[in-house]
Structure 1
Amino acid sequence: MRVTVPLLAALAALAASPVLAASPSEVPTRHALALYGEPALPADFAHFPHADPEAPVGGTLARGANGSFDSTNPFIVQGTPASGLNAIYDTLMVANPDEPFTMYGLLASGIRLDPERQWIEFDLHPEARFHDGHPVDADDVVFSFETLTERGQPFYAAYYDDVRAVRAVDADTVHIDLADSESRELPLILGQMPILPAHYWADRDFERPTRDALLGSGPYRIERVDPGRRIVYARVDDYWGRDLPVNRGRHNIARLVFDYYRDQTVALEAFKAGNLDLRIETSARNWATAYDFPAAEAGFVERLAVPDGQPAGMQAYVMNLRRETFQDVRVREALNLAFDFDWLNEHLFYGAYERTHSYFENSPMAAEGLPGEDELALLEPHRDALPERVFDEPLPVDHPEAMRPRLRRALTLLREAGYTHRDDGTLVDAETGEPLTLEVLLFDTQFERVVQPLLRNLARLGVQGDIRIVDVNQYLNRLREFDFDIVVGSFPQSANPGNEQREFWGSEYADAPQSRNLIGLESPVIDDLVDELIAADSRDALDTAARALDRVLRWGFYVIPQWHLDSTRIALWDKFGWREPFPEYNLDLDAWWIEPERAEAIEARQRNR
C-alpha cells in the first residue's frame, strides 16, 4: 500500500506527541481511589468495619498536650498551633485505616481520575456546609490549594509540587491538572488537603497567628481557647457529613479537650488524678512502673498496646549538616559508634524496644544485605558520587561488639578526619586547635537521662558535649531557623511513602524555614532516588526505590538511629468503647465512644474520694 509523505509526517508527529488525556465525560466516576489495586470497600458500603453506627454519643475526652500554644492556625510558618485542629476541617477524601493507602470520598461525592493520571476531578457534595451555613464549593478548593502552597508551611508546596493547575469547572466540580503523571500517590494526597472557607479569609491575614475560633466544615468546632493552657472542641450536632459512610459511627464524643503541661511528670500525675482521660505513653519506664496506683488496682484504669501496621520510621539524633562539624562522614560515623543502645534498653527502657536501623524499619522497604539487581539499576548511575561501601558492604550497619572496641574504631575515624588530642585529653582540630564540641537541643526534661550516656561515651573520646533544654516555643523557633547542632528528630513513614520524601531529604528544602529537611541534605543522588520512589508504578518498584534510598541515607550516617516499638501504648480511664479488631494500619480514636454507665461510675468515684 502506498503511503504519502504528508501522512507519514502526520503519523510521526502523532507518535512523538504525548498521550492525550481522556476527557472527563469519558472517565467513570468513582467513590474511592487505592494506590495499588482496587478499594476494599464497595461503593455502597455502610460504614468502616471498625466503626459502630450504633455507638452512643456524648461525653468528654480530655488529653494532655506538651508545652504551650499561641495560634489556632496550623497551616502557617509562624506561631505554635494548638493540638487537635484537624478536627474542625473536612478534606476531599479520607483514608480507611484498615487499608495500606485507600482514600474514600468525604467532601467529594465522586472522583474521576484520568487513566494517564494527567488530571483528576472531584464532584463536591451539594449538601456540604461550613459551620456558618455557607456552602463548600469548588472556589473554596481552589482557594485552599493556592493559599496552602503559596502562603502555608513549606510542606504543602513540597507535597503538591507536581500540580500544574487547579480550577473550578462549576460550583460543585473542581478540576486539577497534574504536571507529573508518574506520581501514583498524587491524586490520593490531593484528597488529604484540608478545605478552607474562602469567604471567611477574604478580610483576614492568613499568614499571621491568631487565637480566633477559626471556621471549618468538619465534625467539631472550636468551643473555647485558653491560650497556652487549654483548647476545647465541641461536636457539631448538625454536621453536614454525619451520615456519610466514612463518618457513620465515628466522631461520637461530644467534647474533645486538650490541656497543656510543660512537664510530662505533671501530666502523668494529672492522668492518675483523673483530670485526663487518656494518655499515649511514650516512656518505657512509665509504662513499666508508673501505673501502679489505687484507681488502676481497683480496675478503673486500663492499659492497651495497640499493634501498629505502619513502618516504624526513623527516630534519631539528627545531626545538622549546616554545621561544619558534621560535614565529614567520618565524624558522623564516629558519633554513631558512641551510641550504646543495648545499655539504654537494659538499664532505662526495661527491654521494651528494638534498635532502629532503617528509615523504613519494619517493612519490606528496609534495605538489607547487599543491593540486588533492581536496586543496583538505580544506584549504578550514581556510582562515582557514592562511597564504594554502598555497593560492597552489606546492611544493616550494626555494632555488636563491646563499647571499648567501638570507641577505639570511633577514635580512629576522628583522627582520620583531622582531630588530635591535647594534653588534657580534649579532642581538637589538628590545624586550628578548636575543640570538637556539640550541643543536643531538647525541650523535654525526660529525655535528658537518655542523652547523658551518649555524652559520657563521647567524653571518653575527648568530645565536649552539652545538653540545652529550652521551652517548646523557643525549641520550635530554633528548629525553624535550623539553629541547632543535634536534635531528637523523627521521620515517620507510611506503608506508601511518596511526595513527603522531598521535604525530608530534598535539596530545595535544605534552607526552607520550617521544612522537615532537618539534616540539611543537598544531594543530587538522593534527589534522584526520591524522584524514582515517587514515580514508582508498582509495589515492587516502590519497595526497590525505597531500599535504594534507605541504603544511601544509612551509609551517609546523617543520624544516630534510636529505637522503636511495634505498637502504640495507651493508658485510659475505663469509660471508652471501641470495636475490635483494631484497624490494621492506623489507630482511629475517632471511632471510639464513651460508655455512659462506666463514665458515671468513674465520676461517682471521683466525687467520693
Structure 2
Amino acid sequence: MKITRFPDVFCGFRVMRVLALGLATVAAMPLPSRAEPSHALAMFGKPVLADNAAFLPYANPEAPKGGTIRFAEPGSFDSLKPWVLKGSPAWSVGVHVAEPLMLRSLDEPFTLYCLLCETVETNHQRSWVAFTLRPEARFSDGSPVTVEDVIWSFRTLGTEGHPRYAGAWAKVSSITRTGERSLRIEFSEPDRELPLLMGLRPVLKKAQWQGKDFAASSLEVPVGSGPYVVDRVDPGRSISYRRNPDYWGRDLPLTRGMYNFDGIRYDYFADSNAMFEAFKAGAVDVWRELGAVKWATEYSFPAVTSGRVVKSEIPHRRPSGIMGLAMNTRSPLFADWRVRQAMILAFNHRFINQTLTGGIDPRISSYFANSELAMRPGPPDPAEAALLAPFAAEVPPGTFEGYALPEGSDRLLDRASLREAVRLLAEAGWTVQEGVLKNAEGAPFAPEIVLNQSGSAMRAGSEVQQIVDIYVEALRPLGIQPRVTVLDSAQYVERTNRFAFDMAWYERGLSLSPGNEQALYWGSASADQQGSRNWMGVRSAAVDAMIGRAVNAETEAEHVAAIRALDRLLTTGRYVIPVSYSPVSRIAHAAWLRYPAQPTAYGDWPGFLPDLWWSEQAGTQDPAQRPSSSPSSG
C-alpha cells in the first residue's frame, strides 16, 4: 500500500530561464525571485490550510493516547531498510520511524505542509527549492536533525538507495547548505513537481549509516525522527513499535490527533487464510476485506455477532489504479499489441466477476478510472488530441478512435471475443497446430504466469489463484496452455524485480496528482531498471512526453489533459488485463478502535490507518486479555 504518487513535467521553462539569465546579464544584477518562505507548498493553486491552523481538519485533536493496535502482514521480512532494493524489508519501518521534511494532506490532491522543516521556499518556475529546518527537530536518540543529515540522506538515497529515488535525484544539479538550519536544492531541468518530491524524501541519521554499505540489506535498527521507535524484532515473524514519549513533534499543530497508539505490532503469516483466521480469533485487530461477496456473506463469525468486531466502509475519491495480469513486453510472446489484445479478449471478466464476487464491484476501465483524470469514452477531447498529435504515427490503435474493454459473456467462454482473438493471433503469426498455438517456427505459445502465494495488498492469494484458474480454462480453446508458477513472497519479489516472468499479478495504486512516479511505473528509462514498477516494459515516446507535460503543467487544466492522454496511451497499450476495483475501502476492526468521522479525498491511504485512529479503551485496556500473536503466524 505506496504508497506515494507524484508528477514529471516539461514546458517552456528552458526558454524562460534563458531569457531571465539574459536580462540579468544586461542589467548586471540578478532579477528578484519573488519567492517567499511558506509553511506549505501545493502542486497547483494555494494550500487550503493557513499557517496558523490548529490541526488538520480531518484529525481528531481530542483523540486519547494509549493502547496497542495489531496488524497482519503476508510473507516475511529479512531487513529493516525499506530504502534499498536488496532484501525483503519490513515496509512499516519507513512509515513509523523515519520522517520527511513535509507532511502530505489527505484532503488535497498534492499539498505538503512543513514537518521537519520550518519553512519551504521556491520560485515561480520551481527551478530550485530551499528548506529551513525546525530548531527543535530531533532524532529519537536526542540528537538534532541537521542540514548535513538532510543532504547526506538525499544524496545517498539518490545514488545508493532504491531505484524509486534515482529519477528525481538525476534532475538535481546541486544541494548546498546555506545557513545553520537551511539548504537549497537546484534542479537541472524543468520539472515543477521536484520541490514537492524533495519535501517527501525521508531524512535518515547520517552518523548511523556513514561508512557502511548503505545498499546492503540489514537488520540494524534505524534511528529516525518519527513518532515511533522499533521496540522488538523477530526476523520474518513480527515487528513491534512503541510511541516515543519524547517525540520532538508531539506538540505541533500539524500532528494533533495523530500517532495515538502507544504500540503498533505487525505479525507475519504464511498466507491470507492464516491472516484472516488470526483476525477472527482476536489475535489481529484490523482486516482489510478485498472481496465484496465475502464482505456481504462471510462476516457472521462470533466476534462480529457479539459486537467485538465491526465493519466500516471508508469512501474515497481517488483513481481506481490498475490491477490484474501484467504482460511483459520484454518477452517475445507479448511484444505485439495484437497478441496482448487477444489475451484481453480471452479474459471473460464478466463471467469471472459474477462467479467470484457476485458482480458487485465495477471493472477497472482505465488506469485513472473513478476520477476526473480518467480518459473519456470515444475520441480524445481537443486538448488531449493536441498533446497526442505529434505521436499519431506510433500510438496504439484505438488511441484516437476510442477504445473499450470487451463486454464479456455470462458463460465461461465468450465465443465472439475468442473468434476475434483467433484472428488477431493469426495476424501476429500464431496459429493452432495439432491443438497447440504455435508460431511459424513451431514454437508453442506457453507463457509463464507467476503468482505470489501470500496474495497482495488488494487481493487474497486464493482469489488470484481462482481468477487465473478460470482464465487458464478459457485459454484452452485458443491452444494456449500457460504455466502457472506459485512462489513465496521472497521469490516473487526477486523474480518481479528482475522482470523474470511472462505474466504476473500486478497492482498499482494511483493518486489524485500523478507525476514523477509515473516515470518509474511506465517510463522508458525504467523499462530496464531492475526494481522499477514498469513490469510491463513500457517503452513509448508518447508516454514519456505525457508524463513530462503532466509534471510541468502550470495549471490544473493542463495537468488533467496530460494525464487523460497518458491514461489513453496506457489503456490502449494493452499492457494489463484489468479486473474489478472497489469504490470504497472495507475495513473490519475491533469495536474499540475509532477513526475520524470526516472522510478525506484519499480515504484509506498511507497516513490514515493507524496514524489517525485511536483506542476508545486507551489507558483502560488490559493487555493480558488480548493475545499478542497467533500460533499460525510466521
Q: Smaller-chain TM-score range?
A: over 0.9
Q: CA deviation at 1:381?
A: 0.9
Q: Which residue identity is paired with 2:428?
A: A
| 1:237 alignment partner, one of 234, 239, 245 | 245
Is the alpha carbon distance of 1:568 and 1:422 closer, same or farther for their aligned partners in structure 2, counting shifts above 3 Å? Answer: same
Partner of 1:7: none
| 1:194 alignment partner, one of 202, 205, 209 | 202
Matches within 5 A, 1:275-424: 275-368=283-376, 369-387=378-396, 389-391=398-400, 393-400=401-408, 403-423=414-434
Q: Secondary structure at the match of 2:103?
A: strand
**Is the CA contact 2:86–2:217 (under 8 Å) kept in the aligned structure 1?**
yes
| 2:438 alignment partner, one of 424, 428, 433 | 428
Q: CA deviation at 1:417?
A: 1.1
**Is the CA contact 1:72–1:212 (under 8 Å) kept in the aligned structure 2?**
yes
Q: CA deviation at 1:140?
A: 0.8
| 1:92 alignment partner, one of 85, 101, 105 | 101
Q: CA deviation at 1:343?
A: 1.1
Q: Which residue identity is paired with 2:537?
A: G
Partner of 1:252: 260
Q: CA deviation at 1:419?
A: 1.5
Q: Which residue identity is paired with 2:295?
A: W
Is the alpha carbon distance of 1:556 and 1:44 closer, same or farther for their aligned partners in structure 2, counting shifts above 3 Å? Answer: same
Q: CA deviation at 1:586?
A: 3.5
What CA deviation, in whole Å up to 9, does each residue of 1:479-498 have, x standing for no partner?
11110111111222111100
What CA deviation, in whole Å up to 9, does each residue of 1:11-62 have, x standing for no partner?
99539999997667x5321111111111111110111112222221111110
Q: Secondary structure at the match of 2:253?
A: coil
**Is the CA contact 2:314–2:603 (under 8 Å) kept in the aligned structure 1?**
no
Partners of 1:13 and 1:520 lie apart in 2 by 42
Partner of 1:4: none
What CA deviation, in whole Å up to 9, does each residue of 1:144-173 have, x standing for no partner?
110111001111012444322211112310
Partner of 2:146: 137
Report the TM-score when normalising by structure 1: 0.93
**Is the CA contact 1:164–1:179 (under 8 Å) kept in the aligned structure 2?**
yes
Q: CA deviation at 1:116?
A: 2.6
Partners of 1:146 and 1:18 lie apart in 2 by 35
Q: Which residue identity is paired with 1:323?
A: S
Partners of 1:18 and 1:400 lie apart in 2 by 68
Q: CA deviation at 1:133?
A: 1.2
Partner of 2:15: none
**Is the CA contact 1:302–1:574 (under 8 Å) kept in the aligned structure 2?**
yes
**Is residue 269 of structure 2 the alignment partner of residue 261 of structure 1?**
yes
Partners of 2:81 and 2:241 lie apart in 1 by 14
Q: Which residue identity is paired with 1:526?
A: V
**Is the CA contact 1:318–1:487 (under 8 Å) kept in the aligned structure 2?**
yes
**Is the CA contact 2:24–2:30 (under 8 Å) kept in the aligned structure 1?**
no
**Is residue 483 of structure 2 the alignment partner of residue 474 of structure 1?**
no
Partners of 1:11 and 1:466 lie apart in 2 by 60
Partners of 2:522 and 2:29 lie apart in 1 by 33
Partner of 1:595: 616
| 1:566 alignment partner, one of 583, 595, 602 | 583
Q: Which residue identity is paired with 2:587?
A: I
Q: CA deviation at 1:535?
A: 1.4
Is the alpha carbon distance of 1:295 and 1:401 closer, same or farther for their aligned partners in structure 2, counting shifts above 3 Å? Answer: closer
Partners of 1:142 and 1:110 lie apart in 2 by 17
What runs of 5+ residues in structure 1 fail to find an aligned partner? Answer: 1-9
**Is residue 515 of structure 2 the alignment partner of residue 507 of structure 1?**
no
Partners of 1:19 and 1:413 lie apart in 2 by 65
Partners of 1:223 and 1:605 lie apart in 2 by 19
**Is the CA contact 1:459–1:465 (under 8 Å) kept in the aligned structure 2?**
no
**Is the CA contact 1:51–1:579 (under 8 Å) kept in the aligned structure 2?**
yes
Partner of 1:438: 447
**Is residue 569 of structure 2 the alignment partner of residue 552 of structure 1?**
yes
Partner of 2:594: 577
**Is the CA contact 1:65–1:259 (under 8 Å) kept in the aligned structure 2?**
yes
Larger mean Cα displacement after TM superposition, 85-94 or 443-452: 443-452
| 2:549 alignment partner, one of 507, 532, 541 | 532
Matches within 5 A, 1:109-120: 109-120=118-129
Is the alpha carbon distance of 1:597 and 1:493 closer, same or farther for their aligned partners in structure 2, counting shifts above 3 Å? Answer: closer
Q: Which residue identity is paired with 1:486?
A: M
**Is the CA contact 1:231–1:257 (under 8 Å) kept in the aligned structure 2?**
yes
Matches within 5 A, 1:122-271: 122-181=131-190, 183-271=191-279
Is the alpha carbon distance of 1:268 and 1:19 closer, same or farther for their aligned partners in structure 2, counting shifts above 3 Å? Answer: farther
- Considering Cα pairs closer than 8 Å and 6+ residues apart, tell me whether 1 or 2 has the greater RCO: 2
Q: Secondary structure at the match of 2:392?
A: helix
Q: Which residue identity is paired with 1:494?
A: S
Larger mean Cα displacement after TM superposition, 201-210 or 158-167: 158-167
**Is residue 484 of structure 2 the alignment partner of residue 464 of structure 1?**
no
Q: CA deviation at 1:584?
A: 2.5
Q: CA deviation at 1:292?
A: 1.0
Partners of 1:160 and 1:428 lie apart in 2 by 45
Partners of 1:14 and 1:123 lie apart in 2 by 29
Number of equivalences? 593
Q: Which residue identity is paired with 2:403?
A: L
Is the alpha carbon distance of 1:217 and 1:20 closer, same or farther for their aligned partners in structure 2, counting shifts above 3 Å? Answer: farther
Q: Which residue identity is paired with 2:417?
A: R
**Is the CA contact 1:213–1:225 (under 8 Å) kept in the aligned structure 2?**
no
**Is residue 281 of structure 2 the alignment partner of residue 273 of structure 1?**
yes
**Is residue 60 of structure 2 the alignment partner of residue 49 of structure 1?**
no
Q: Secondary structure at the match of 1:45?
A: coil
**Is the CA contact 1:139–1:171 (under 8 Å) kept in the aligned structure 2?**
no
Partners of 2:495 and 2:426 lie apart in 1 by 31
Q: Secondary structure at the match of 1:104?
A: strand
Q: Secondary structure at the match of 2:255?
A: coil
What CA deviation, in whole Å up to 9, does each residue of 1:347-368 have, x standing for no partner?
1112231111211111122112
What CA deviation, in whole Å up to 9, does each residue of 1:415-469 have, x standing for no partner?
111112223x11111x211111112111134121111111111111111112110
**Is the CA contact 1:160–1:186 (under 8 Å) kept in the aligned structure 2?**
no
Identity %: 38
Q: Which residue identity is paired with 1:432?
A: E
**Is the CA contact 2:282–2:626 (under 8 Å) kept in the aligned structure 1?**
no
Q: Secondary structure at the match of 1:564?
A: coil
Report the TM-score when normalising by structure 2: 0.89
Partners of 2:506 and 2:396 lie apart in 1 by 25
**Is residue 53 of structure 2 the alignment partner of residue 39 of structure 1?**
no
Partners of 1:408 and 1:259 lie apart in 2 by 48
Q: Which residue identity is paired with 1:592?
A: W
**Is the CA contact 1:21–1:114 (under 8 Å) kept in the aligned structure 2?**
no
C-alpha RMSD of the superposition: 2.3
Q: Secondary structure at the match of 2:482?
A: strand
